[in-house]
Structure 1
Amino acid sequence: MIRIVVVDDEALVRSGFEMILNAAADVQVVATANGADAVDTVRRQRPDVLLLDIRMPDVDGLTVLRAVRALPHRPVVAMLTTFDIDEYVLTALRCGAAGFLLKDTDPTQLAQFVRTLAGGGVVMSPKASHAVVRGHPAAAASADQGVARVGGLTVRERQVLVLVAEGLSNGEIGARIHLSAGTVKDHVSAILAKLRVSCRVQAALLAQRAGLLSGQGGQGGEDGR
């Protein structure tokens, strides 16, 4: 059972996510909270996955993210946003968020996204991921440099990068291309070093910008993963 905490400043949003996710047999929302109660709730419930609103009036999502990342038991965090472009998203990724998605995501996909996160994969809203790079000149310049580095990856590393961007965990990638999870982990470490990024989400964004995901939808889990 995947344990989830949902943090949002709107009670209706919290209730909606709770109802949708609890309909899945292997997913359980163990608590919901607003920004002010978020860190204490996470500390008490020790969830596997935290769905965290990026903009809240009392305590914003970035503050909660930083505090949660400092806890001994750190859940995987995906940021929730209502905006196609949100200047906080890149900061959230640098602070350790494992992905981001729009609140109007198809409800039928939410449980699979949570499974992807719990399995070590990444989840990205296609609209938001395109808009983040397009809407931030500094990010765009950095991304262009990163795309150039994609050309320096080996064929195997590119293969692994595509699967990372699809949202697969190391174990799932290994099963797909007949490698051990340890070998995949080594490949992922090499990819992050060569691309000069700090996490799988940033690597996945570069894969998308480099055109490696053409026709794949761009979000972990969206094509049945």
Structure 2
Amino acid sequence: MRVLIVDDDALITSALKMILEVDQIEIVGIGHDGSEAIQLYEALKPDILLMDIRMQTMTGLDAAKTILAQNPNAKILLLTTFSDDDYIIQALKYGVKGYLIKQDYSSIVPALNAVSMGQTVFGTEIIAKIPGLLHTEQPDPQARFHYADYGLTAKEYDLIGLVADGLSNKEISDQIFLSEGTIRNYLSAILDKLHLRDRTQLAIFYLKTKDAD
């Protein structure tokens, strides 16, 4: 696994480098602000970008937005001391693969391994906040939602609901009596229709629309 570390605190980048190299993770580069993260990402094409949020010149969120616009499949894991609500909302919207609090250093390597396998990882503190954050923006009562407006069928919208409930493909397969391969195909088609990147964004879509249905 090739990891790029970006943080404006030199002590933290050194500590992270030491922690990760113990687990045989290759550190391909180290940067210290968002603009440098963009340049290094393009030059090095790491498997994962591990990045702070609050940095001089350009924030990690702004860098993540730029990188993901140019590289939609980029795997970015944000590591910060701040569980700020606005940061979490923006991180989810941009499609980062994870958001961890720095104090929980023991979770970094497992999180990197999960992200490398295509999973989305949020720390326990962040996960607890997400449902409340998604309901801070109240839907317009005059704007009725209907899944067909997005080109979805009723079955596809129900499937999204199961994803939002946290069910795995295997659990969904057992519940609706379709093969895991069929579930994967359905989800891939749904993501394409909605122009979304992953299951996390799919769950956010469902939670935002179900109350307006």
Name the amino acid aligned to 1:71.
Q
CA distance, structure 1, for counterparts of residue 27 and residue 136 of structure 2: 37
CA distance, structure 2, for counterparts of residue 72 and residue 113 of structure 1: 21
Structure of greater relative contact order (alpha carbons < 8 Å, 6+ residues apart): 1
Partner SS state of residue 32, structure 1: strand
Name the amino acid aligned to 1:162.
L
Higher fraction of helix: 2
Is residue 162 of structure 1 aligned with residue 161 of structure 2?
Answer: no
1:44–1:159: structure 2 CA closer, same or farther, 3 Å change rule?
closer
Name the amino acid aligned to 2:167.
V
For residues 170-193 of structure 1, give each alpha carbon's deviation from its aligned partner in whole angstroms, at most 9, with x where no partner exists.
xxxxxxx9734xx34324346668
CA distance, structure 1, for counterparts of residue 132 and residue 71 of structure 2: 36
How many percent of aligned residue pairs carry the same amino acid?
25
CA distance, structure 2, for counterparts of residue 45 and residue 193 of structure 1: 28
For residues 137-179 of structure 1, give each alpha carbon's deviation from its aligned partner in whole angstroms, at most 9, with x where no partner exists.
525x57xxxxxx9xx6359955994237xxxxxxxxxxxx973
CA distance, structure 2, for counterparts of residue 41 and residue 20 of structure 1: 21
CA distance, structure 2, for counterparts of residue 106 and residue 205 of structure 1: 27
- In structure 2, the residue matched to 1:218 is none
Name the amino acid aligned to 2:68.
R
Partner SS state of residue 37, structure 1: helix
Kept in 2, the 8 Å contact 1:85–1:131? The answer is no
TM-score, length of structure 1 as denominator length: 0.66
- In structure 2, the residue matched to 1:134 is 132
Kept in 2, the 8 Å contact 1:122–1:201? The answer is yes
Partner SS state of residue 13, structure 1: helix
CA distance, structure 1, for counterparts of residue 168 and residue 78 of structure 2: 21
Say how many residue pairs are matched: 186
TM-score, length of structure 2 as denominator length: 0.69
Kept in 2, the 8 Å contact 1:3–1:28? The answer is yes
Structure 2, unmatched stretches of 5+, are: 140-153, 170-177, 208-213
Partner SS state of residue 56, structure 1: coil
How far off is 1:63 after superposition? 1.6
CA distance, structure 1, for counterparts of residue 60 and residue 192 of structure 2: 28
- RMSD over aligned CA atoms reads 3.8
Kept in 1, the 8 Å contact 2:4–2:29? The answer is yes
Pick from 10, 18, 30 the counterpart of residue 32 of structure 1. 30
